[in-house]
Amino acid sequence: MLSSMLLGRYTPGESVIHHLDPRAKLISVILFMIIVFFANDWLGYGMLILFVLAVTKLAGLSVRFLFNGLKLVLILLIFTFLMHIFLTKGGTILVEGGFFTIESNGLITGIYITIRLALLVVITTLMTLTTSPIELTDAIEKLCKSLKAVKIPVHEIAMMMSISLRFIPTLMDETEKIIKAQSARGSTFMTGSLKSRITALVPIFIPLFMSAFKRADEMAVAMEVRGYKGEEGRTHYRVLNWQLKDTIAIIILLILGLILLWVRQ
């Protein structure tokens, strides 16, 4: 049930994309997020879609796999699309109902915005699918280093991030186990009224919080007894290594951005 969710999950692999420096991937994703907004016609969006498909292929993942894992996001996309179709006005009137009208501008922006959102979700998912959480936080820590000058505890924030990312799958597993145990005791959260479904969540959340707090406490103690005291004097086990291919990745994105600016209407 929860195990098919792909948001924030990592699939180990040996593809080119997997082997890029996490910093390069992070910068590329940020660049892509900006570039997405350059597109304002079919040609631009077409190129962006092709680009994302190419990256998917390079990462050794199938489109169907991504689609299945992102089904939940689909609800959000459909919602956005409907909002635009009904609320954005302008252009020629396509459908006239009693209290609503669908106008051509609404339809077109609806499609554009939905594609834009989908592209953003897919590209960030591609990053997390090909980058282990540890690599990702390392990259964030390295990229944000300069913020330390203004007294922002970059290392501590990165550590907190990596711990929370590390525990997402653990908590997911734990949730699934507790759901199973409680439903084996006859708890029903799939059927019944809304109220009974909400009260059925209590037997799941209480044990989940109990074990999460216990785990956090044990973790804190384990870190302390091993002498953790923040960044002071720490070295990294994995040293990030910026290579030519990473520079190339960034250049490709910059070129994509330039082309999009050029074809933009």
**Per CB under 8 A, does 181 bind other proteins?**
yes
- Nearer to other proteins among residue 13 and residue 257 (C-beta): 13
Does residue 64 touch other proteins according to CB under 8 A? yes
How far are the Cα atoms of 141, 160, 164, 242 from residue 145, in angstroms, in the given order?
Answer: 6, 16, 20, 16
Quote the least distance from Cβ 168 to other proteins, whole Å: 16
What number of other Cβ atoms are within 10 A of residue 84's Cβ?
19
182 interacts with other proteins by CB under 8 A = yes
| One character per residue 120-159, x = contact with other proteins (rule: CB under 8 A) | ----------------------------------------
Please identify which residue in 30, 46, 57, 68 interacts with other proteins, judged by CB under 8 A: 68
Q: How far is the CB of 129 from other proteins (least distance, A)?
A: 10
Helix spans in the chain (H) = 16-19, 22-36, 42-58, 63-69, 71-87, 104-130, 133-143, 154-184, 194-199, 202-225, 244-263
Distance from the Cα of residue 61 to its chain's centroid: 16
User: Whose Cβ is closer to other proteins: residue 192's or residue 230's?
Assistant: 192
> For residue 248, how many other CB atoms are within 10 A of its CB?
12
Q: Which of 202, 219, 221, 251 binds other proteins (CB under 8 A)?
A: 202
Smallest distance from other proteins to CB 188, Å = 7
Q: Which residues contact 200 (CB under 8 A, 6 or more apart)?
A: 182, 187, 188, 189, 192
DSSP state, residue 196: H
Which is closer to other proteins, CB of 5 or CB of 161?
5
Residue 159 phi, psi (nearest 5) = -65, -45
The footprint of other proteins (CB under 8 A) covers: 3-4, 11, 61, 64-65, 68-69, 174, 177-178, 180-188, 190-191, 202-203, 206-207, 210-211
